[in-house]
Structure 1
Amino acid sequence: MPHLVINDNLAELAKTIYDYWFVQFDFPDENGKPYKSSGGKMVYNDILKREIPEGWEVCTFSNFIKDIKNGDWGKEQEEGNYTEKVSCIRGADINGLNGNGELKSPIRYINKKNKCKILVENDFIIEISGGSPTQSTGRIALLTNNTFARFENNIICSNFCKAISLKDEKYTFFFLKEWERLYHNNILFSFEGKTSGIKNFLFEVFIHTYPIISPQKNIIEKYNFYNIKVDENKQKNLQQIHHLQSLRDWLLPMLMNGQVSVE
Structure 2
Amino acid sequence: MKNKTILDVCKRFSAGDAIKAKDIKVTGKYPVFGANGIRGYTDTFNFDGQCAVIGRQGAESGNVHYYEGKAYMTEHAIVAEANEENCSGYLAYKLMQMNLARYQGQSAQPGISAKTISELPIDIPDLEYQKLVFGALNNLEKKITNNEAIAHQLEAMAKIIYDYWFLQFEFPNEEGKPYRSSGGKMVWNEELQREIPAGWEVGNISSLIDSKKNGDWGKENMQGNYVLPVSCIRGADLDFVNGKSLSTPPTRFILEKNSSKLLKPYDFVIEISGGSPTQSTGRIAGISPYLFSRFNNEIVCSNFCKAITLKDEVNYYYFLQTWMTLFENDVMFNWEGKTSGIKNLIFDSFVKNTKIVIPNKEQLNMFFEISDGIEKKIQNLLKQNQELVSLRDFLLPLLMNGQVTVGE
Partner of 1:35: 179
Of 314, 339, 346 in structure 2, the residue corresponding to residue 195 of structure 1 is 339
Q: TM-score, normalised by structure 1?
A: 0.98
Identify the range of structure 1 (86-95 vs 239-248) with the bigger mean alpha-carbon deviation.
Answer: 239-248
Q: Deviations over 1:124-151 (max 9, x none)?
A: 1111001111111111111122110001
RMSD value, Cα: 0.9
Once the two structures are TM-superposed, the CA of residue 246 in structure 1 deviates from its matched residue by: 1.5
Q: Is structure 2 residue 180 aligned with structure 1 residue 74? A: no
State the distance in 2 between where 1:43 and 1:173 align: 25
Question: Which deviates further from its counterpart, 95-104 or 122-131?
Answer: 95-104
Residue in structure 2 matching 1:10, options 154, 160, 168: 154
Gaps of 5+ in 1: none
Letter of the 2:271 partner, please give it: E
* Larger Rg over CA atoms: 2
Task: Give the aligned residue type for 1:151.
Answer: F
Contact kept, 8 Å, 1:60 with 1:207, in 2: the verdict is: yes
Q: How many residues align?
A: 263
Partner of 1:96 in structure 2? Answer: 240
SS of the residue corresponding to residue 253 of structure 2 reads strand
The amino acid across from 1:31 in the alignment is E
Asked which structure has the greater RCO (Cα within 8 Å, sep 6+), the reply is: 1
- Check whether the contact 1:97–1:103 (CA below 8 A) recurs between aligned residues: no
More strand by share: 2
Name the structure 1 match of 2:33.
none
CA-to-partner distance for each residue in 1:3-45, whole Å, 9 max, x for gaps? 1111111111111110110001011011111111011111111
Pairwise CA distance, 1:102? 2.4
Q: Deviations over 1:217-258 (max 9, x none)?
A: 000000000001100010011111111111111210111111
Structure 2: stretches of 5+ with no match in the other structure:
1-144
| Whole-angstrom CA distance in 1 between matches of 2:371 and 2:406 | 42
Q: Which has the higher helix share?
A: 1
CA-to-aligned-CA distance 1:173-231 (integer Å, 9 cap, x gap): 00110001111111111111111111101111111110000101000000000001100
Deviations 1:53-72 (A, max 9, x none): 11111001111111100000
Aligned-pair CA distance for 1:259? 1.4
Q: What are the within-5 Å matches in structure 2 for residues 240-259 of structure 1?
A: 240-259=384-403
Instruction: Please give the alpha-carbon distance, in whole angstroms, between the structure 2 residues aligned to 1:198 and 1:102.
Output: 27
How far is the alpha carbon of 1:83 from its aligned partner? 0.4
Q: How does the TM-score come out when normalised to structure 2?
A: 0.64
1:204 to 336, 348, 351: 348
- Asked if 2 retains the 8 angstrom alpha-carbon contact of 1:56 and 1:214, the reply is yes
21-30 or 96-105: bigger deviation: 96-105
For 1:228 and 1:75, how far apart are their aligned partners in 2?
35
SS in 2 for 1:119: coil
Partner residue of 2:380? 236
The alignment-based identity, stated in percent, is 53
